[in-house]
Structure 1
Amino acid sequence: MTLYQLHAKQVLPISKTEAWQFLSDPKNLKTITPVHMGFDILSGADKKMYPGQIIQYMVKPFPMLSTKWVTEITHVKDGEYFVDEQRFGPYSLWHHKHFLKEVPGGVEMEDIIDYKLPFGIIGSLTHPFLVKKQLQKIFAFREQKLNELFGKIDGAQNELTLKKIGG
């Protein structure tokens, strides 16, 4: 079983409270997702985030391919972190941890996503040129959009790594 991990960090010049208010509102996910992804929330985003919340989306991971994505918010520590896990969707496994930490001049957002692709060896062969590139584009867009919305800290070093972690 091949597992992959995406690890991203971004520093923004806002308070932890402001970052939490934005990131913990499921409706804001559409704002930080590229338009070409055809991202639409179908249900479950009408309340503040809570453990057990089920959110349904339509997403277009690649041209000509739309799919329903259902996630569950499994853990929430108000103002600190939350975890979403895919229940149905394009991945065999999707476990996404979101952390917030105060740093000088703002807040550091950290994402750790452990994921597995479907279709065995075929899925693994598509990772470098399809899935990995798509995730890099999504997170680059997100970084740019968050900088537009909240500003940027001069000299802040944002990070994005994707690696194989098992299998």
Structure 2
Amino acid sequence: MKIYNLKKTQYLPISLSEAWEFFSTPKNLKEITPEHMGFKIRYSSGGEKMYPGQLICYKVNILPGIPVDWVTEITHVREPYYFVDEQRFGPYALWHHQHHFREVKDGVEMTDEVNYAIPFGVIGRIANSIFVEKEVKAIFDHRSKVLQDYFQNRTVTV
């Protein structure tokens, strides 16, 4: 199985507590996901705040008009510094997504690191090179722009 990696770091002009509040609330994921993906949370165990062991079930379009179920588990949480979600059921053979937050001068440095694998062996590797890798990158580029716009006029409050 070939494992691919995407790492994206972004500065946000908000406090560490504001970053944690936004990113640790599963319902905010819809706000930063491209609209064409038709993202919907179907179920989230245990309420609105994340915790280790929490399951979140989504419906998402992996290709236009092709919705799939995707279940992730929050496996690690160290508030307010990082959390990890891993796919339990969905379109990938492996999905391991780390979210890291670090306080820096006048804001927060946020780093997303995703390790993923595509099923179907050689066919999956070809699919990754043709469109999956581009789509994963486009999703995180979209998130980056939405977050920049959303937080651009904020003043860091400690």
Could you state the TM-score of these two structures normalised by the residue count of structure 1?
Answer: 0.88
Once residues 126 and 84 of structure 1 are traced to their aligned partners in structure 2, the CA distance between those partners, rounded to angstroms, is 24
Q: Which moved more, 1:80-89 or 1:61-70?
A: 61-70
Percent identity, aligned pairs only, is 52
> Where in structure 1 do 4 or more consecutive aligned residues deviate above 3 Å?
none
What SS does structure 2 have at the residue aligned with 1:118? coil
What SS does structure 2 have at the residue aligned with 1:50? coil
Structure 2 residue aligned with 1:67: 68
Contact 2:6 2:137 in 1 (8 A): no
Once residues 31 and 53 of structure 1 are traced to their aligned partners in structure 2, the CA distance between those partners, rounded to angstroms, is 20
Contact 1:11 1:152 in 2 (8 A): no
Residue 136 of structure 1, CA deviation: 1.5
Structure 2 residue aligned with 1:126: 127
Once residues 74 and 115 of structure 1 are traced to their aligned partners in structure 2, the CA distance between those partners, rounded to angstroms, is 16
Could you state the TM-score of these two structures normalised by the residue count of structure 2?
Answer: 0.93
Once residues 145 and 53 of structure 2 are traced to their aligned partners in structure 1, the CA distance between those partners, rounded to angstroms, is 30
Structure 2 residue aligned with 1:18: 18
Structure 2 counterpart of 1:5, which letter? Answer: N
Residue 152 of structure 1, CA deviation: 7.5
Q: Within 5 A, what are the aligned runs for 1:83-122? A: 83-122=84-123
What SS does structure 2 have at the residue aligned with 1:30? helix
Q: Aligned pairs, how many?
A: 153
Contact 1:54 1:70 in 2 (8 A): yes
Aligned: 1:27 with 2:27? yes
What SS does structure 2 have at the residue aligned with 1:31? helix
Once residues 95 and 73 of structure 1 are traced to their aligned partners in structure 2, the CA distance between those partners, rounded to angstroms, is 10
Gaps of 5+ in 1: 154-167
What SS does structure 2 have at the residue aligned with 1:142? helix
Residue 129 of structure 1, CA deviation: 2.2
Q: Which moved more, 1:45-54 or 1:118-127?
A: 45-54
